[in-house]
Amino acid sequence: MKRLLLLLGAAALLVAAPAMAQYIYLDSNGDGICDANDVLGPSSTNVDVYFDTNHNPDGGLVACSDGTSPLDIFSYQWILRSSGAGSVAYGTWTDRMAAQVPGGFLTPIANARGGTDIFVSIGGIVAGAPGLYRIGSLAITVTGSPALSFVETSSVDVGAVTAFGTHCPGNDFDGSQIFGRDFTGNCGTTTNTATRPTTWGAIKNLYR
């Protein structure tokens, strides 16, 4: 009986434990979401970057791993990489967090680019409440049919990561939620290469 109670207690802890599955995504067509319609082409002039600090990609609510600290946001950094049959020339990054969180997000920390990658990092002193944010817009010039995706590291800056600063301690107790360590939810753009209406084509569309 004692062993059964211990097992039940352990199971209860697993069920109650907060999950960490934040979501970062791109929107290239202005509808505020990321899906198979976010395709880059010659007419694409910008992409918006979104962070959802306390939801899964499917909209499920998540909490900080310590069960008490907020999954708020007081800084951000991200790395984008282009790939596929074409190229992307990166233009100006326009921060939109300063307008959403007055007094915060005022300090550009880094802006590096090279080859297929771009890295942007901006800090602040006032935290925004947990939730969904359109953190900014990146001007782009597109040739061919490339795709953009978030990556964990880049040679353009040895310290570059995709992450946001938060009062939630995180897995490394560094006050950050880092892509690839603390969360994996992400969505980039797609190419305009047609997908055939086959079983494999249907599966491919599910994971775009």
Could you tell me which of 77, 158, 50 has the C-alpha nearest to residue 114? 158
Question: Does any domain span residue 11?
Answer: no
CATH number at residue 81: 2.60.40
Question: Does any domain span residue 12?
Answer: no
**Which pLDDT does position 200 carry in this prediction?**
45
| Between 168 and 15, the higher pLDDT residue | 168
Domain count, the chain: 1
The residue assigned the tokens 């947990």 is 130
**Which pLDDT does position 108 carry in this prediction?**
79
**pTM given for the model:** 0.82
Q: pLDDT band for position 110 (50/70/90)? A: confident
- Beta partners for 120? 78, 111
Could you give the residue ranges of the DSSP H alpha helices within the chain?
2-16, 97-100, 199-206
Asked if pLDDT for residue 119 goes beyond 80, the answer is: yes
Structural domain boundaries enclosing 50: 18-206
Asked if pLDDT for residue 208 goes beyond 70, the answer is: no
How far apart (Å, rounded) are the C-alpha atoms in residues 39 and 190? 5
Question: Does any domain span residue 42?
Answer: yes
How far apart (Å, rounded) are the C-alpha atoms in residues 188 and 49? 9
Question: Does any domain span residue 1?
Answer: no
With contact defined as beta carbons under 8 Å apart, do 109 and 123 qualify? yes
Question: Does any domain span residue 8?
Answer: no
Question: Does any domain span residue 131?
Answer: yes
Q: pLDDT band for position 7 (50/70/90)? A: very low
Question: Does any domain span residue 79?
Answer: yes
Per-residue tokens: 148: 């953009």
Asked if pLDDT for residue 6 goes beyond 50, the answer is: no
Question: Does any domain span residue 13?
Answer: no
**Which pLDDT does position 23 carry in this prediction?**
96
